[in-house]
Amino acid sequence: MEQYLLNTKTAIVTGTSRGIGFAITKALLNLGVTVAGWSRTKPADFSHPKYFHFETDLAAQDSVDNSFQQTLIKLNHQIDYLINNAGIGHNALIEETKPDVWRKLFDVNIHGLFYASRLAIPVMKSQESGHIINISSGAGTNGIAGMSAYCGTKYAVNGISDSMHKELRDFGIKVTCLSPGSVDTGFSSSNKNKILPDELAQSVIHILRSPENFHYTEVQVRPLRPNL
């Protein structure tokens, strides 16, 4: 079916240097999608003829603006997918969290999503199509002691995503908030039963392959047996 063919599509993926963003990038490339990767560092020892890296600080509006202009040229002014994945975490009690760390989490996890989305949306509106996937977390629906800053950013991602899909659906643009539970990215202690980044990437592909009139607005995924 036509909606399942992605080899003519283009994507911007943020936070591609490793972990979830790198896994999503590889999954898209394997299906023929042309990918613009935005992160501060390139994926290590990786190259692909349809992958273009743009050094980007998602916390800095000027950096995002510059990468977007370069990306438009490279992708021939076509943006089918935006995967807002870039994010950082921090473990600390709220009174022990330094203000600069607090600001940094919101700059990357929230402001970066805003900077990228506000630029991609007009292009998608001109195409009357597009799909934005915002990577949230189980921490966006369930507060965790010692992670107030991170949880705050992910609760914000959920609320922003809900507003975005209601603003954009009549323009043919889908917005999905994907909230995984424990993913083995090195952010917290390793566990053999955590979701693997490559597994989460397949969830992204499944969402992107949905029929034209089918809209995943919010998707939560969890390890089946997280405590083993």
In a domain, 161, yes or no: yes
Give pLDDT tens digits for 107-163: 999 999 999 999 999 999 999 999 999 999 988 888 899 999 999 999 999 999 999
**The two three-digit tokens of residue 96, written as one number:** 């022990």
Is the pLDDT at 5 greater than 90, yes or no? Answer: no
Residue 140: φ, ψ to 5°: -90, -5
Conformation bin of residue 146: beta by default, left when phi > 0, alpha when psi is -120 to 50: left
pLDDT tens digits for range 91-121: 999 999 999 999 999 999 999 999 999 999 9
* Whether the Cβ atoms of residue 179 and residue 140 lie closer than 8 Å to each other: yes
Whole-number percent of the chain with pLDDT over 90: 82
Least confident piece of the model among 5-9, 40-44, 186-190: 186-190
Q: Pick the catalytic residue: 4, 150, 155, 216?
A: 150
Strand, helix or coil at 12?
Answer: strand
Asked whether residue 191 is domain-assigned, the answer is yes
Say if 176 falls within a structural domain: yes
Q: Is residue 84 included in any domain, yes or no?
A: yes
Whether residue 171 is contained in a domain is answered as yes
Using CA atoms, how far apart are residues 105 and 202, in angstroms rounded to an integer? 27
Q: Which domain holds residue 15?
A: 2-221
The answer to whether 81 is a known catalytic residue is no
- How many domains, in total, are found in the chain? 1
**Whether 187 contacts 148, CB under 8 Å:** no
pLDDT tens-digit map of 181-203: 865 555 555 556 778 999 999 99
Q: Let me know if 175 is exposed, middle or buried by CB neighbors in 10 A (0-12, 13-18, 19+).
A: buried
CATH for 214: 3.40.50.720
